[in-house]
Amino acid sequence: SSLSEKIVANNCFEGLLRLDDDGNITLGGAVRYSVSGDDLTYTFKLNETAQWYIPSQVKKDLRKIDYNTSVTAADYVFGLERYKSSGKADFDNVSVMEATDDYTLVIKLQDPDIDFLYKLATLPVYPCNETIYNGIKDNIFTSAEYTPCNGAYYVNDFSKAETILERNKDYSG
C-alpha cells in the first residue's frame, strides 16, 4: 500500500498501540497492558468507551442484523486473524488470541519477541467487527459509505486523486 493509504488508515483506525511523534510506543485502543515475566503473554485492557463510526449506507444494509457499535476485544481478535490470514509472517509467533471479556484481550506467543509491541504499533493490525464485516464484505472499503472506522477520523469521500477525512465526533481515544 502507498504512504497516503497508510496515513489514511492510521487516522481512521485505532490499533491497540501506536507510535508517538518521537517514535515511542504509546497506547491506542488499549488503555493499559501487561506482559508476563516470561515475555510470552500480553494482556490488553481496552478503552470501554470506544465506538465504531458506522456510515449511513452500512446502517441501511445491516438494519436487520444485530451488531455492536462498541469496539471490543473480539474486534481486535478478528482484525489480527484477518491480518495473519493475509499471508503476513509478522505474527506467525502468535499461538493464542483470546477475548477473555469484551474489553480484555490476551495474546500468547510461542517464543519471546522483543519487537512484538513495536509490530502492534506499526503494522496495519486494526480491529474489525466480524458481524459488520460479514454483512458488507462484498462492498467494504469500496467507497466512503462502506468504510466503518474506529479512529479519530472517518472517510467522508475518496477518489483516485484524493481522500477527504472528517473528524469522528464519537472518537474517545
Indicate the average pLDDT of the chain. Answer: 93
pLDDT at site 172:
84
Beta carbons of 110 and 95 less than 8 angstroms apart: yes
pLDDT at 1 over 70: no
For range 138-151, the mean pLDDT = 93
148: nearest Cα among 123, 162, 130: 130
What torsion do the CA atoms of 83, 146, 144, 124 make, to the nearest 10 degrees? -10
Report the range of poorest mean pLDDT among 56-60, 85-89, 104-108.
85-89
Backbone angles phi, psi at 101, to 5 degrees: -160, -175
Distance CA 4, CA 169 (A): 23
Q: Confidence class of residue 95 from pLDDT cuts 50, 70 and 90? A: very high
Tell me what pLDDT residue 51 has: 95
Query: Helix-strand-coil percent breakdown of the chain, rounded to 5?
Result: 30, 25, 45
What pLDDT digit, counting tens, does each position of 71-82 carry?
999 999 999 999
* pLDDT above 90 (res 159): no
Contact 47, 72 (CB under 8 A): no
- What is the residue type of 133? Y
Residue 89 has pLDDT above 80, yes or no: no
Contact 49, 121 (CB under 8 A): no
Q: Please, which pLDDT band fits residue 5 given cuts at 50, 70 and 90?
A: confident
| pLDDT above 80 for 2 | no
Q: What is the mean pLDDT of residues 9-31?
A: 94
What average pLDDT does the segment 85-112 reach? 92
**What's the mean pLDDT in 143-161?**
92
Model's pTM, two decimal places?
0.93
* pLDDT confidence band for 156 (50 / 70 / 90): very high
Query: Looking at residues 127-150, what average pLDDT do you find?
Result: 94
